[in-house]
Amino acid sequence: RPGIVHRLDKDTSGLMVAAKNEAAHRRLQADLKARRFKKGYLALVEGRLSPPEGIIDAPVGRDPRRRTRMAVVSTGRPAVTRYRVREYLGGATLVEVWPETGRTHQIRVHFASLGHPLVGDRLYGRACPTLNRHFLHAFYLGFPHPRSGQWLEFTSPLPPELEAELARRRAAIPH
């Protein structure tokens, strides 16, 4: 059936893929499952993330204590997230994130497990008074065209409310 090939978490902005027909949908889903998609996100996490780049390799599964959440659990499915710091903003860090797997809430769970939940993440961290959602944006998507196999790349700028949050934080840093 044609339609949405993959999902974004509620309150995550950015790029998604939709198929125009059933054959394209099947091919795109197969490519997604075979990890031929490359996805890039921008996240603002609480605190000063260190080291400035790294790999989070920790299994993600249902949180046994709170069934509405996911968590890093030994019985979870393998989950790998690469990251690189783009900018330190006082008490937060802007991070470029490249998940290698696509578990539910993977990015949010991985950074929360390090003690650096996403800014505004009410489920894994805390609300942010100046932002009414978590700071996570799918800014890059690359994948093979379902018919030709040609590599396609798409980018998406941060939405205004996330740009405004960065501007507020930059303005608060003493110069």
Closest-CA residue to 25 (of 55, 53, 4):
4
Q: What 8-state DSSP symbol labels residue 117?
A: P
**What positions carry a catalytic annotation?**
9
Contact yes or no for 14/22 (Cβ under 8 A): no
Q: What 8-state DSSP symbol labels residue 131?
A: B
Alpha helices (H) in 36-159, listed in sequence order: 106-113
Gap between the terminal Cα atoms of the chain: 55
Q: What 8-state DSSP symbol labels residue 142?
A: E
Question: How far is Cα 5 from Cα 32, in angstroms, rounded to an integer?
Answer: 8
Q: What are 100's two structure tokens?
A: 């290698």
